[in-house]
Amino acid sequence: MFVVKYLVGIFATVVLTTAISHAQLGNTLVLKEKGRTIQSWIEKDCITFRFSNTQWIEGKIKTILKDSLLINMYRAQQSPTVFGGFRVDTTWLGFLKISIHEISGMPQSRYKSGMFTNGVLFKLGSGAYMFLNIVNSIIKGYPLFDASNTTKLLVAAGFYGIGTLQQQKHKDYLPIGKKYTVAIY
């Protein structure tokens, strides 16, 4: 009889502890890349994301619910001071409740340079080569469109085209979809 009372007491304690504690509620927003966590946010964290209508929203997370967020939106901008300097002025815009399915993108890390993937190196290098080739041909009096020089200019123009295609394909944000996902845990 004592063992039964003891087991019932332990069971009641466990049930009450899990009912009172909020350990079972989802309160962490997680950004994942192919199942691997990249970044996470909790309540009172600041977040920037791309809304489903392509508008960028900045705000402070007020509440994380089962499948939605309550965000206090703000806008931070510089304003001049009396002494000629600048200060950051924050304007609070109000609350916005959104579903996590309405998040269509997250900004790239500011420490991650897209110089190798956005085509700038190809465009800059080939543009500089074409400019120097044309200027040197004019200054030295070489024919601009002879067989060897035309081939070099066409190869450089091809690399410029590759850089342009990379620039059109590259996005400066992480699109939510197949590779990147957002979930609440």
Give the C-alpha separation, 21 to 120, whole Å.
52
The angle that helices 120-140 and 147-169 make with each other, rounded to 10 degrees, is 160
In this prediction the pTM is: 0.62
Q: How confident is the model at residue 31 (pLDDT cuts 50, 70, 90)?
A: very high
Q: What is the DSSP letter of 65?
A: -
Averaged pLDDT, 50-78: 92
What is the rounded average pLDDT of the residues 43-65? 93
Model confidence at 34, pLDDT cuts 50, 70, 90, reads very high
State pLDDT tens for residues 82-95.
998 999 988 999 99
How many whole angstroms from its chain centre is CA 4?
A: 56
Per-residue pLDDT reduced to its tens digit, 74-127 = 998 998 999 989 999 889 999 999 999 999 999 987 666 666 778 889 999 999
Domain limits, the chain:
2-112+172-184, 120-169
